[in-house]
Amino acid sequence: MTLPALFVAHGSPMLALEDHEYSRFLETLGRELPAPEAIVVFSAHWDSPEQSMTVDESHDTMHDFYGFPDAMYELRYPAKGSAAVTQRIASLFEAGNLHYEPVLGRGLDHGAWVILSKMYPNADIPVIELSVDSRRSPEEQYAIGAMLKELRQDNVLIIGSGGLVHNLRLISQTDEPEAWAVEFDEWIARNLETWNLKELFNYDKKAPHAREAVPSYGTEHFAPLFYAMGAASDEAKAKRLIQTYQYGSLSLNCWMFGGS
């Protein structure tokens, strides 16, 4: 069996404590997917010009956010790393002529551990976190993800964690979705379902409301989509598993790529 790759919107850090349709969906998804041997997460909250990778035997939990309830800072996700998987990733990056930086002692940021705490609450599956580079073109991000596609055949789950509509300056106090956010998400959906790379790679020029949905200061949240797609480029099929919204325009969705 080949595992799918996933794009998972991580929303607000409060997702770790919330109980609603999207949080329950993630809990169910973790139970329904075949149990992976390891999980690789491209996180929007590790934006680096150097391709970086955690190489720890075990991970600390980063509380890389401010102004949240005390309970958020008490949460821990003590997942282990995997030397075997990091070595495999290193060899694939080297084969793709991609320079990478092994990083010790960083911990898992909330882009990784918040969603994993819902999907795999026991923290008993090894996790390797990878950085994204928002300055790279979508084509380059996709190509880096594609370097890792064969990991899926070895029962490794690859996740891109970010947000398709993620503009904190435009959020409101209602969960009723803003029309512009829905229009952007639906444009993305149509082009994902047809694997239209020409349109998707030019989403910033082609998609309606792209500037509002993916502001110039927040492209790192959109980038994980292309890394996750690349990891399933051998199958080139996409399925949206859920679509909800918080705060008017904060898009909470999950896309599954490939998997057989």
Question: What would the pLDDT profile of 173-194 be if each residue is shown by its tens digit?
Answer: 887 999 999 999 999 999 999 9
3, 36 Cβ separation under 8 angstroms: yes
Question: How would residue 260 be classed by pLDDT, with cut points 50, 70 and 90?
Answer: low
pTM over 0.95: yes
d(CA 106, CA 37): 22
**pLDDT higher than threshold 70 for residue 61:** yes
Amino acid (1-letter code) at residue 14: M
Confidence band of 48 (pLDDT split at 50, 70, 90)? very high
**Average pLDDT rounded to a whole number, residues 206-224:** 97
Grouping H, G, I as helix, E, B as strand and the rest as coil, residue 239 is strand
Domain count, the chain: 1
CATH number for position 181: 3.40.830.10
Are residues 167 and 215 in contact, defined by beta-carbon separation less than 8 angstroms?
A: yes
Domain span at residue 252? 5-257
Residues whose CB is less than 8 angstroms from the CB of residue 153 and which lie 6 or more positions away in sequence, other chains included: 2
Which residues are CB-contacts of 66 (< 8 A; sequence separation ≥ 6)? none
pLDDT at 259: 83
Give yes or no for a contact between 222 and 214, defined as CB atoms under 8 angstroms apart: yes
Determine the Cα–Cα distance for residues 235 and 222; give it in Å rounded to an integer: 21
pLDDT surpassing 70 at residue 79: yes
The pLDDT tens digits of the residues spanning 10-24 come to 999 999 999 999 999
Q: Are 152 and 231 in contact (CB under 8 A)?
A: yes
CB atoms within 10 A of CB 202: 12
pLDDT the model gives residue 236 = 95
Decide if pLDDT at 149 tops 90. yes
Q: How distant is the alpha carbon of residue 227 from its chain centre?
A: 8
Distance (Å, rounded) from C-alpha 157 to C-alpha 138? Answer: 21
Angle at alpha carbon of residue 175, lines to 221 and 192, rounded to 5°: 45
- Quote the CA–CA distance of 158 and 38 in Å, as a whole number: 9
